[in-house]
């Protein structure tokens, strides 16, 4: 039987492209997101692309109590999960001190609390099952607090640290912890950003990510170059070079 992978945030962007990539590789799939109608359309396309089984499930990461029951329901329908990809995320502009508290709270709720709760539920399932692979999608934004995207940067760095802790905690278990930190991949999430250096198309990004997941890497930027170097340089860059122009 083919391996089973669960992907959150699968209705668009990286999650949708990654679902297509895994379908073409013959994986069984569980695709989760808030927009069930979009997932139902995706289900038909994923079957046509080569997936032998596709499970659709509604999930709103803003309600952490939904996460473990959703994962368990998908696992039951697929006969267990081999890989869980905590991908769902949002990236609204959250300039500090400009009345964006609601956006800040939602970003932390989805990108940090929701992602960590997804990882937690996956690990619980893998421990009961005897092993598996949990994949956390962070970002090159975790390397540095980016102007106007402080909440997003903070959430991705927080998820990075959470995955680090899990990697140590699960070192003697049959659990693989993979963190992928994409650079600019062309999706609706970042199309409003004024500058997107080294941007790549989402199909290429999904193919690279699927390859890395299958290789069970611990950590990688996507693509590896230039972001493996650029991420480190971001940490050293003088703040004045990141500061937005005065209005």
Give the three-state DSSP class for 173: coil
CA distance 209 to 147: 27
3-36 in b/e form (b: 16+ CB < 10 A) is bbbbbbbbbbbbbbbbbbbbbebebbbbbbbeee
Residue 246 in any domain: the answer is no
Q: Which residues are identified as catalytic?
A: 152
Residue 243 in any domain: the answer is no
pLDDT above 70 covers a percentage of the chain that reads 99
Over the stretch 60-77, which tens digit does the pLDDT of each residue have?
Answer: 999 999 999 999 999 999
Residue 209 in any domain: the answer is yes
Residue 244 in any domain: the answer is no
**CATH number, domain containing residue 223:** 3.40.50.720
Per-residue pLDDT, 173:
98
For residue 222, the cross-strand partners are 182
How many domains are there within the chain? Answer: 1
Residue 33 in any domain: the answer is yes
Q: What mean pLDDT comes out for the span 173-196?
A: 88
Over the stretch 97-145, which tens digit does the pLDDT of each residue have?
Answer: 987 899 999 999 999 999 999 999 999 999 999 999 999 999 999 999 9
CA distance 67 to 121: 7
Per-residue pLDDT, 6:
98
Predicted TM-score (pTM) of the model is 0.95
Residue 245 in any domain: the answer is no
Q: What pLDDT band is residue 242 in, cutting at 50, 70 and 90?
A: confident
CB–CB of 19/29 below 8 Å?
yes
Residue 247 in any domain: the answer is no
Q: Which domain holds residue 227?
A: 4-238
């Amino acid at each position: 039987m083919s391996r089973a992978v669960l992907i959150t945030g699968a209705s668009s962007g990286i999650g949708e492209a990654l679902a297509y990539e895994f379908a073409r590789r013959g994986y069984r799939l569980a695709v989760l997101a808030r927009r069930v109608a979009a997932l139902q359309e995706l289900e038909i396309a994923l079957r046509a692309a080569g997936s032998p089984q596709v499970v659709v499930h509604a999930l709103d990461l803003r309600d952490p109590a939904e996460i473990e029951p959703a994962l368990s329901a998908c696992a039951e329908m697929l006969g267990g999960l081999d890989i869980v990809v905590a991908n769902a995320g949002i990236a609204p502009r959250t300039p500090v001190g400009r009345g964006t508290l609601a956006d800040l709270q939602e970003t932390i709720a989805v990108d940090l609390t929701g992602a960590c709760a997804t990882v937690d539920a996956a690990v619980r399932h893998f421990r009961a099952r005897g092993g598996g692979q949990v994949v956390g999608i962070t970002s090159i934004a975790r390397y540095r607090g980016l102007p106007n995207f402080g909440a997003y940067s903070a959430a991705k760095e927080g998820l990075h640290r959470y995955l680090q802790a899990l990697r140590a905690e699960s070192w003697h278990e049959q659990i693989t912890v993979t963190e992928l930190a994409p650079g600019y991949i062309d999706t609706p999430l970042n199309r409003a950003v004024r500058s997107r250096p080294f941007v790549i198309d989402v199909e290429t990004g999904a193919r690279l990510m699927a390859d890395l997941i299958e290789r069970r890497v611990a950590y990688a930027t996507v693509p590896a170059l230039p972001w493996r170097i650029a991420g480190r340089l971001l940490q050293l860059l003088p703040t004045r070079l990141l500061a937005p122009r005065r209005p």
